[in-house]
Amino acid sequence: MEFLFVILPLCFFLGIDAAVFTLENKCNDIIWPGIQPGAGRPQLMNGGFQLKPGETVTINAPTGWSGRFWGRRGCSFDVSGKGTCQTGDCGGVLECAGAGGVPPATLAEFTLDSPLDFYDVSLVDGYNIPISIAPSGGSSTCQTVKCLTDLNQHCPDGLEMKKNDTVIGCKSACLAFNKPEYCCTGVYSTPKTCKPTVYSKAFKLACPLAYSYAYDDGSSTFTCQKANYSIGFC
Ligand SMILES: *[C@@H]1O[C@H](CO)[C@@H](O)[C@H](O)[C@H]1NC(C)=O
Ligand SMILES: *[C@@H]1O[C@H](CO)[C@@H](O)[C@H](O)[C@H]1NC(C)=O
């Protein structure tokens, strides 16, 4: 049993260093954030919950956590947590429990303590909701990253995802056309051969700090250290 006395204080110590994520719904509609941990990382909030306009939720993440956050919209769930979302759905359940969101979905991605925290807003899986990431209390660059342009209103022709006549999401060119040059696959599978396209350039113009295609690393990855992070929707 001695090992417990070693491990428990160690966990507590690691816990002190962990990051706090604050999720805020600045939209006018209810959203349902989804959280997918990286491989081998623990679930936060069982992967999903409802967030009303103006509400905030704080979530503690352990040291070394990685994963992604996204916003689901137009959901309806029954009392058992089964239902669907118009965008970002994770298999018809309120608590995504490890599943990711169906594209198109704007992502806020994190890899903590590696040894810096790396974070980005990604449009590689398309766009469905404005997202911002604001670090606080950290050292290093710690830049705020925003993609607040409503790309549903400025979605390039051919990428729109519509519900009746309303655009509710903006697909990536990879999802819309499934071609290697858009997906950075096949002969386009390296940063040298996969270049920006007219579609990724439109995303970049709308959100200069967000990933617009798979190899958009130079202008889209940000670092901070020992910080907390506010993730705003809208
Ligand atoms: C993160 O938030 C927690 C809880 O509010 C606070 O105790 C801690 O000092 C914050 N860390 C930083 C780096 O601001
Ligand atoms: C969308 O279209 C369906 C079927 O055409 C209709 O039943 C529904 O009321 C429409 N929804 C909205 C929000 O207009």
Cβ atoms of residues 213 and 194 within 8 Å: yes
Structural domain spans, the chain: 2-233
- Does residue 136's CB lie within 6 angstroms of at least one atom of ligand 1? yes
Rg (CA), the chain: 18
What integer pLDDT is reported at residue 219 of this predicted model?
87
Residue whose CA is at the smallest distance from ligand 1 atom 10: 228
pLDDT computed for residue 217 by the predictor: 85
Q: Is the CB of 20 under 6 A from ligand 1?
A: yes
Q: Please indicate whether residue 224, judged by its CB atom, sits closer than 6 Å to ligand 1.
A: no
Q: What is the DSSP letter of 92?
A: S
pLDDT average, residue stretch 138-150:
95
Residue 35's pLDDT band (cuts 50, 70, 90): very high
Cα–Cα distance measured from residue 144 to residue 133, given in angstroms and rounded to the nearest whole number:
6
Ligand 1 atom nearest to CA at 227 = 13
**Predicted pLDDT at 14:** 46
| Percent residues over pLDDT 70 in the chain | 93
| ∠ Cα 160 164 170 (to 5°) | 15
Decide whether any atom of ligand 1 lies within 6 Å of the 228 Cβ. Answer: yes
- Checking if the pLDDT of 9 tops 70, the result is no
Protein residue with least CA distance to atom 9, ligand 1: 137
Structure confidence at residue 17 (pLDDT): 53
Give the number of the atom of ligand 1 that is nearest the alpha carbon of residue 136: 14
* Segment 100-121 mean pLDDT: 97
- Report field, pTM of the whole predicted structure over 0.85: yes
Domain 2-233: assigned CATH number: 2.60.110.10
Cα 41 from Cα 31, distance rounded (Å):
24
Strands (E), the chain: 19-25, 31-37, 56-61, 66-73, 76-77, 83-84, 107-111, 117-122, 131-136, 145-147, 160-163, 166-170, 222-224, 228-233
Q: Which ligand has the shortest distance to the CA of 228?
A: 1
